Amino acid sequence: MSKIWLMKSEPAEVSIDDALAASGQTVPWFGVRNYQARNFMRDEMRPGDAVLFYHSSCPEPGIAGLAEVASTPYPDPTQFDPRSPYFDAKSDPKAPRWILVDVRALRKTRLVPLSELREHPALAGMRLLARGNRLSITPVTRAEFSVIKKLAR
């Protein structure tokens, strides 16, 4: 059975509009440099999994669209590029440390701000809302996804 993920992106780097405008409406989810988030991509994500596309590090963070995982994991090329802010000098091309998946944007939604998500008791246990959570990728339950899809309409 497919899974559901919340994936954060800074809109100045890649927004839902950028993803929708990309070839095939698909973008590589590059630059993840947290081991737990990397492990979610490497070990648990599969093509077809649902994605809540979340804008972070912006004036009004929140869910901005719906997407899906579009590829199996593969090495993130930015780890090998010394000009990239995501360069990792310790990553070996023979055993890459960092991977990514491609994400296909399905549609833009109305922005569901973080403040609104916090107001819904049904979302109280959502990992995004946990105190101190800074992960760029988190799993989402089916119940949480159902509530958010209704809010996003």
Tens digits of per-residue pLDDT, 28-45? 999 999 999 999 999 999
pTM exceeding the 0.75 threshold for the entire prediction? yes
Residue at 70 is within a domain: yes
What does the alpha-carbon distance between residue 75 and residue 88 come to, in Å, rounded to a whole number? 12
Residue at 152 is within a domain: no
| Contact in structure between 108 and 54 (CB atoms under 8 Å) | no
Residue at 13 is within a domain: yes
Q: Check the CA dihedral 37-14-76-67 and report its sign.
A: positive
Residue at 40 is within a domain: yes
What does the alpha-carbon distance between residue 51 and residue 10 come to, in Å, rounded to a whole number? 15
> What's the mean pLDDT in 19-25?
97
pLDDT for res 132: 86
**Structural domain count of the chain:** 1
For 119, the domain range is: 4-140
Instruction: Identify the CATH number of the domain in which residue 8 sits.
Output: 3.10.590.10
Closest CA to 5 of 108, 122, 138: 138
Closest CA to 97 of 82, 75, 118: 75
Question: Which tens digits make up the pLDDT trace of 51-107?
Answer: 999 999 999 999 999 999 999 999 999 999 999 999 999 999 999 999 999 999 999
